[in-house]
Every structure is written in structure tokens, then in C-alpha cells.
Chains A and B, each alone.
Chain A
């Protein structure tokens, strides 16, 4: 049973609507039924959050933008490093064998510990956000892209060899376009993580950024702003992911259509 586009939109709307309703109900239960005094900090009413958001939208969005833009820059840099690493590792088996263990180890450090380490070394708030986003991004991109390179069918490479193509042509005309879907898988994994990491750095004591709003509002018990900030950051994570998806559709228009066509071979 295939869902049409319209069906899927309806499903999404119903799903969203019921979440909001459920949420309101739960918040009301918490406040009125259980009579929890701390209700507003544990589970606010959606409409309260919305009102706060609308009221404070300018400052929230500015803070969000600060964090998001630095994360974005780091993401782009990390992506480029990842691609370069993948190319180097695919060119030389030795490079791959040497680099891989280091790569794995690099990701063993949890982000929570990483943020203060990077901040200590870099000492600049903006730089730290960029560095940590790059750090988070380069690994999934490198690994996925390398996987893409390795999965190019032998016959495609034999074809290139039969017309005596040089390495540059093989990479530019075959390996890269072929591996774009893999690249985007890596980017999709990295995008929300890069944003989260950037917010984490905020919390280490910057003056701007959404992470700071979250922290300060929590400590000063301004729960409305707290929740509005939390939702702004969630929104940023979702936005970053969707930007990558949009870019994917732009660069790989053939991907989804190709997989739907069945029985050609």
C-alpha cells in the first residue's frame, strides 16, 4: 500500500496535532491533578512556550544564529577535511591502515568532555564552536565517503582503465559523483551533532549563543525562556538536518528516482 504525497502530509499533521494535544493534557495533569509546584519547569504548556517564543523571538533567533552560524562553518570545514581524508585513504592502503585507528580513537571521547578540552586549547569562544563542529563532522564524512569509494563496481573502474584515464579523471568523473550519496549520509549524521556540540560550547561561558540562554534561564528560574530556548535549539538541529536534505536533493536528483525504478536489470 503506497501512501500518496497528500496522505503523508495528512499523517504528519495528525501526528503533530496529537503530540501537542497529548502534551497539553500531560502538562495540565502535572499542574492540576498532581499539583506539582515545579510543574512549569518540568513540563510547560505548549501555548505558554509559544507565547514566550513569540515575545522573545528576536533575541532567541539572534542567539540561535550565533551558535548555528559557527556550527555551520565548522561543519563545512569538517566536511572538507573528511573528504580529503577519504581521498587520501582510498589512494593508499597504508594511509588507510595507519589513519583508521586514530580516527576511531578520536571519536571515543564524548562530546561533553571534548568541549572543555577544546575550549581550553583554543581559548576563543567562536573558534571553539567552529573547531568542535569540524571535529564532530570529519569522521562520519571520511568513513562514509571512503565506503562510497570502495563500493564503486570493478567494471566501472575497468571502463576507465580501458580508455587510459588518469587518476584525476577517475576521481573527478567517477569516484566523486558516485560517492555523493555516501557523502550526504555522513553529513546527515554529523549535522545535528555539530549543532549540539556547538551549543555545548556555549554553555562553557560564552556571552552569546543559545546555549547560554538555556543555562542562564535555568539558573534564574525563568522557565518560560528556558523552554523557549530549548525549543529554539531543537529547531536549529532540525533545521540543520533539513538543510542537508535539501542540498542532497539539489545535488543528487537522481538518487530517489533511480531506486524506485525496478526490473531494469
Chain B
């Protein structure tokens, strides 16, 4: 019996914008996430998916409601350095090469030097960039930079990997390839992954469950279990079951 690792209870986020209007970014969101699960937060702009991710990560505070991770608050979890986070832009340091970029979080935490080298090697192997360790970010393509971002996020062996539309800035082909790579990585590390996206096929391909969010106000419209077999391969994208899921999810959006 999987104990929920992460519990989101009645979380709402409201803020006032520049015009003095109240924006309901999230209203009364409740969700349980199991350990080792791959879950997607899917929705168009303004549905609150990134807001929810940031609340989990303790980068934002909810207006009401609470989040607990194995009984700890987001802040406590963050301070215990249990998160890995990947953004839409790779956010790499131009002044460090790939290896030193991956190393950065470990320096902050104080992982001993010998262990650092071993982990960097493992991470680069995991994302398929073993040969690019000494390259600088500007020498890499967008897809490769994102892979470094993933390697860096995993370097701390986090319990939860938070990904905020990590592949949205890339072209379709690179994105699909990285989807498959990510699943391979997940298969090896078994981290819990919370993945934010606005791409319906991507959300289905990757996850165990898709949380569909609709905007104005931001809310959960549906939670869809994805009963597709693993490991998921490229051919799955063309299967009838896959298309059925796409249709089902498309229809569960409200007010878009």
C-alpha cells in the first residue's frame, strides 16, 4: 500500500494584479501523490499549474490550504534539500562547464569531493552527455542544455523532481526524444516526478496520472489515470488507446 508522499489539501492562491483585480490562480486544489509516481499537471496558460508547482517547491506561499510531504511542510522539505527542480529555460551558468554546472548544487550542500566526481559521472551517463563534460553551455544545443539541467537537478538524488515545462522551448522532435530519455532516467532513479506541461500528448506519454487544470479561476477539472503499459515506446504515440486518452483529456477542460 503506497502511502501518499505528497498531500495537497485545499490549496488556493489569490493575488492582486497591477490593475487591482483579484486573480484566482488556484482554487481549492486537493491532490494526493504517491511515492515514485510520475504525475503531470496539464493545462493552458493561466490555469495555475506552474503556481501549484511553485507552492509545492516553497517558491510561493499558498493563500489558504496546506501541502505536506511525508508530514513536512514545503519549507522544511526545501531546507532539507529534497527537491530537484528543472525550469523551462536550462538556467545553466555560462561561466561553468557542464561538469561544474552539475556539480554546483553538491558544492552548496557540501558533498565531499570524491563523491562529487562519481555522481557527476553517473549523472552525465544517465542523460547521455558523458562526452560533453568539459563543454560550456553556449557550445550545446537547447536540448543538450536541458539535459544538463536535468542532470544537475538529479545530482542531489532528490526525493521529488519538479519540472516546469522543461521541454516547451524545444522543437517537437527533440521534445519527443527527451520524453523517452526522461522515462528511461525515471525508470532508473524511481524519483517522484511532478511534471508541468501544456502539451496533451506529452502528458499522456509520460505519466501515470494526468491532473487536468482549467483557468479562470485556476482549478482541477479532472484527474485521469493513464493505464498504458510501461515501458512506453515511441510506437505507443500512434496507438488507438493513446488517441482515446487525448480525446478524453481534451474534453475534460472547462472554460477554455
Contacts and interface: CB of A to CB of B under 8 A. Distances in A.
A165 B78 CA distance: 10
Contact of B81 (A163, A174, A178, A261): A163
Interface string B114-125: 000000000000
A162 B59 CA distance: 7
Given A158-B87, A163-B109, A264 B104 contact: no
A173 interface: yes
Given A158-B59, A264-B141, A165 B108 contact: yes
Interface string A157-175: 0111111110001000110
A97 interface: no
- Identify the interface centre among A156, A164, A261: most chain B CB within 10 Å of its CB: A164
Given A162-B59, A265-B169, A257 B138 contact: yes
A163 B95 contact: no
Interface in B77-115: 78-81, 83-85, 87, 89, 91, 93-95, 104-105, 107-109
A177 interface: yes
Interface in A10-65: none
A219 interface: no
B89 A264 contact: no
Contacts, number: 69
Contact of B108 (A153, A156, A173, A265): A173
A121 to B, nearest CB: 41
A254 interface: yes
A77 B145 CA distance: 39
Given A177-B95, A254-B95, A161 B59 contact: yes
Contacts of A169: 107-108
B9 to A, nearest CB: 22
A160 B85 CA distance: 10
B91 A264 contact: no
B79 A155 contact: no
Nearest to B93: A177
A156 B94 contact: no
Contacts of A258: 94, 136-138
A155 B169 CA distance: 15
B143 to A, nearest CB: 10
B183 to A, nearest CB: 23
Interface string B136-151: 1111111001000000
B81 A164 contact: yes
Contacts of B79: 164
B145 A264 contact: yes
B98 to A, nearest CB: 13
11 contacts: A161-B58, A161-B78, A162-B57, A163-B105, A173-B107, A173-B108, A254-B94, A257-B138, A258-B138, A264-B140, A265-B142
Which 8 pairs of residues, A with B, have the shortest CB-CB distance?
A258-B138, A162-B85, A261-B138, A177-B95, A164-B79, A165-B108, A155-B91, A155-B87
Given A160-B108, A177-B95, 18 more contacts: A153-B89, A158-B54, A159-B91, A162-B59, A162-B83, A162-B162, A163-B108, A163-B156, A164-B78, A177-B93, A254-B136, A257-B136, A258-B136, A261-B138, A261-B139, A264-B138, A264-B141, A264-B142
